[in-house]
Amino acid sequence: MALFRIERFTPLPPAEAWRRVTDWERHGGTVPLTSVTVPAGGSTGPGTVFVARTGVGPLGFDDPMEVVRWTPPAAGRAGVCRLEKRGSVVRGQASIDVCPTGFGSHVIWVEELRVRLLPRWADPLLAAAGRRVFSRELGVLLED
């Protein structure tokens, strides 16, 4: 599996940083060739499934993700969100933690990815590409 970790410090309070990094539809606006669909009226807690569609027209794939843990930050406690990637092309998990700091928040995003038909020797390349794309994405999501 390809593994990468991204960290950002932001002056945003934990509740606002959490809101931004768990606004799934907004993720689609930051990742190239990707849109995110969240069920209408759906909750955000455990059991919520949303789909990231990557591609152009009919050429692409769906990346369904299920929220398996949802603990928003509160009263000096870190927020923790865990996602399971359950697609036929992309499998794995993601973890997004939002920790309070003395001046704002520390956001930690960790992903473990496995892409079907991609040989294991390509995992370091996949991790580097993921780190680059999601680092940009996290920066955009946390911008003021």
One pLDDT digit (tens) per residue for the chain, 144 residues:
999 999 999 999 999 999 999 988 888 777 777 788 887 766 678 888 988 888 888 888 888 999 999 999 998 899 999 999 998 899 999 999 999 999 999 999 999 999 998 999 999 999 999 999 899 999 999 996
Closest CA to 2 of 127, 139, 95: 127
- pTM here is 0.90
What does the pLDDT read at residue 129?
Answer: 92
Q: In the structure encoding, which two tokens stand for residue 125, read together? A: 């390349």
Q: What is the pairing mode between strands 105-115 and 2-10?
A: antiparallel
- The DSSP result for 31-100, as a single string, is STTEEEE--TT--SSTT-EEEEEEEETTEEEEEEEEEEEEE--BTTBPEEEEEEEE-SSEEEEEEEEEEE
> pLDDT digit string (tens) for 17-33?
999 999 888 887 777 77
For residue 116 the two structure tokens come to 């079907």
Q: Is 9 exposed, middle or buried (0-12, 13-18, 19+ CB in 10 A)?
A: middle
CA separation (Å) from 143 to 11, 30, 32, 137?
A: 10, 12, 18, 10
At 38 the pLDDT is 81
Label each residue of 22-41 as H, E or C. Answer: CCHHHHHCCCCCEEEECCCC
